[in-house]
Chain A
Amino acid sequence: MHNKTIAELAAGLRDKEFSSRELTTHFLARIGQYNPALNCFITVTEELALQQAEAADARIAAGKAGPLTGVPIVQKDIFCTKGVRTSCGSKMLDNFIAPYDATVVERLGRAGTVMLGKANMDEFAMGSSNETSFYGIVRNPWDTNAVPGGSSGGSAAAIAARLTPGATGTDTGGSIRQPAAFCGITGLKPTYGLVSRYGMIAFASSLDQGGPMARSAEDCALLLQEMAGFDEKDSTSVKRTVPDYRAGLNERLAGLRIGLPEEFFDEALDSEIARTIEAAIAEYEKLGAEVKKISLANMRLSVPVYYVVAPAECSSNLARYDGVRFGYRCQNPKDVHDLFMRSRGEGFGAEVKRRILIGTYVLSAGYYDAYYLQAQKIRRLISEDFKQAFEQVDVILGPTAPSVAFGFGEKTSDPIAMYLSDIYTIGVNLAGLPAMSIPVGFSSNRPVGMQLIGNYFKEAQLLNIAHRYQQVTDWHRRVPANFM
């Protein structure tokens, strides 16, 4: 059962081949068996999952099921879940039981999905390897000596190891796409404003976007269908009709114009990854697509711009953790400043602290123009580059990450080396565009991910382009040897 896709599981539930309770029990048993070695979960919600499964079975029996009713999923622990610990991977929120559901959680719950648990992640989504989590590292199912990527590392590893058929993730600088690439799964970062951020713990509010992670583009389409759409409770939610993402999956690709940015195939890219991506491009040419070289001239500045904008927004957003209203509070504070300073100093990990400090600095008097304003201006230039590119092509294609999954500790001592692992993904967040990562092969026995970037609100087209590739290849169906 665990090798079936969401689409296949949904059909099995509808045809009463198995019940949601059986399915849920099966995945909970796999979690019990494999999670101790991988550490994908911060919390397993066994009791709740079985209750939800029984409710789903009743709904299916009553003929009131939706397309996802009874399908088990995992929520990244950044999404608030009422009555369930929502830690965001931090000691700061280790004791935080969310008093309400995030809109994404509410919608997926309403669709009848079953929540197996809350996935491990980098602390406050700040990291590219899942090594900053207060709850420990997550291991990559393809090679347990490698990181799963981050920040949605627990979600990606759980899907790859067949501990869940799908999960939610969030992507501020690549946090859905890069772990999807490292773990050989499919992930979609939607257009900014498509998926509600209500109840999704904020890191950098102008960049954060939740999205689906699963094994195929079709499964991402099914999940996105339930997650997307206007939400009154999110002031940046965009009011527009959500298309039927599954309807266009099989559209033909003849005449599709694919742009290859020269900046994505530079000297930073591992040569074996370059060859793997070229093989995928050849598949698209066989499907009738036309390939064209393009340039995104300011792309090389996306990482520096991001490491001003994201920390600036993070330092404001994380000001709320003060040891007073919720979260960690230090012992015996001697005065109110000591309470704030020690609660924050003891509650946050090193990477979160680095980003709060950088953000505070670039926003402080005398430095705002030189850093924050300049970053916002270059953000405009990066966004304009994409705009011009989309006048010439329909979709932009390139690698998701410059390397395959790296080893534990390889980049932890050098923050900038870690930041550069998101060099191909960050520009998309700055512009607010949608993008996907899909598996396209292996290098040194570790998965290679390919990135597809679409124009604003072109998720249906991205899913179509990814799906057609997955119809003629089987990389997305490969299973890591120890998790068959």
Chain B
Amino acid sequence: MSLTTKDVDKIAWLARLAIDQSHVTAYTRDLSGILDFVEQMNAVSTAHVTPMAHPTDQPQRLRPDIVTEFDQRQLFQACAPLVDAGLYLVPKVLE
């Protein structure tokens, strides 16, 4: 499976990850190599195998519907890069 630099640009956009243009060729080579390597999986017939998402095969644990977390906005926003009046600041989304 060989990727093109255009594919890598598209994946990087989906991942919201800026890639330095001078590195795109290297990423394209590395990612193609990794995909070639994982192709080995195709040699195995798995038509009747149940996928395993998780090692414990346990159902999700339920808990009573009660409030266990309390407002700690100030504490949690103390490590935010930019806040004002309790709000996280980001560049304007709508013009």
Residues of chain A at the chain B interface (Cβ within 8 Å): 95-97, 99, 192-193, 206-207, 232, 235-236, 238, 298, 300-301, 303-305, 307-308, 315, 319, 322-329, 333-342, 344-346, 348, 350, 353-354, 356-358, 360-361, 364, 370-371, 373-381, 383, 415-416, 419, 430-432
Contact = CB atoms under 8 A, between A and B. Distances in A.
Given A304-B41, A353-B19, A99 B75 contact: yes
Contacts of A206: 53-55
B67 interface: no
Nearest to A329: B81
The number of chain B residues touching the other chain, given as a range, is 35 or more
A258 to B, nearest CB: 23
Contacts of B8: 357
Interface of B: 3, 8, 11-12, 14-20, 23, 27, 30-31, 33-35, 37-42, 44, 46, 49-56, 58, 60-61, 63, 72, 75-76, 78-82, 88, 90-93
A329 B89 CA distance: 11
A335 B80 CA distance: 18
A235 B61 contact: yes
Contacts, number: 166
A40 B15 CA distance: 32
B34 A307 contact: yes
Contacts of A415: 30, 33-34
B41 A353 contact: no
B75 A339 contact: no
14 contacts: A96-B79, A192-B56, A238-B58, A304-B37, A304-B40, A324-B88, A326-B79, A329-B82, A344-B16, A354-B34, A358-B31, A361-B3, A371-B41, A415-B33
A91 B12 CA distance: 19
A contact patch SS: helix
B11 A364 contact: yes
A301 B41 contact: yes
Given A236-B58, A345-B18, A353-B17, 16 more contacts: A95-B79, A300-B40, A325-B88, A329-B81, A334-B91, A335-B93, A341-B16, A345-B20, A357-B27, A361-B3, A361-B11, A371-B38, A373-B51, A375-B41, A381-B49, A430-B55
Contacts of B20: 345
B56 A236 contact: yes
A228 B19 CA distance: 41
A354 B30 contact: yes
B37 to A, nearest CB: 5
Nearest to A313: B53
B51 A432 contact: no
Contacts of B34: 307, 354, 358, 415-416
